[in-house]
Amino acid sequence: GAVVSQHPSRVICKSGTSVKIECRSLDFQATTMFWYRQFPKQSLMLMATSNEGSKATYEQGVEKDKFLINHASLTLSTLTVTSAHPEDSSFYICSAETWREYTDTQYFGPGTRLTVL
């Protein structure tokens, strides 16, 4: 149980185009999902918190107009990287939160590798 999927797993796009990444909780409902970014050989950095039915909360330094987040249902959150540039190339990972064993636990997706040419 507690499986989180991401699609696509890997995407290559041209500079200036937009890319949408989906995050789905497959066997549970998640009122809260989180988006992280991980550059090569670095740690995961929280980008934003996505709550179903409300606007996402962005971390300091993350441009909300560039990284559009939509949490359309209790099992789906999408991250759209608008007008992507080479510096946006990174590993984007989502997590979904659920109540397990008397506490909230985050389960991570497998990640999406974005390469902007």
For other proteins, the binding residues (CB under 8 A) are 4, 6, 32, 34, 36, 42-46, 49, 59-61, 91, 93, 95, 97, 103-111, 113
Q: Which lies closer to other proteins via its Cβ, residue 46 or residue 117? A: 46
Q: 61: which residues sit within 8 A by CB, 6+ positions away?
A: none
CA distance to 5, 17, 84, 103, 112, per residue, from 14 (Å): 25, 6, 8, 42, 16
Q: What is the DSSP letter of 59?
A: P
Q: How far is the CB of 80 from other proteins (least distance, A)?
A: 19
Q: How far is the CB of 82 from other proteins (least distance, A)?
A: 21
Q: How far is the CB of 16 from other proteins (least distance, A)?
A: 26
Secondary structure of residue 17 in the 3-state scheme: coil
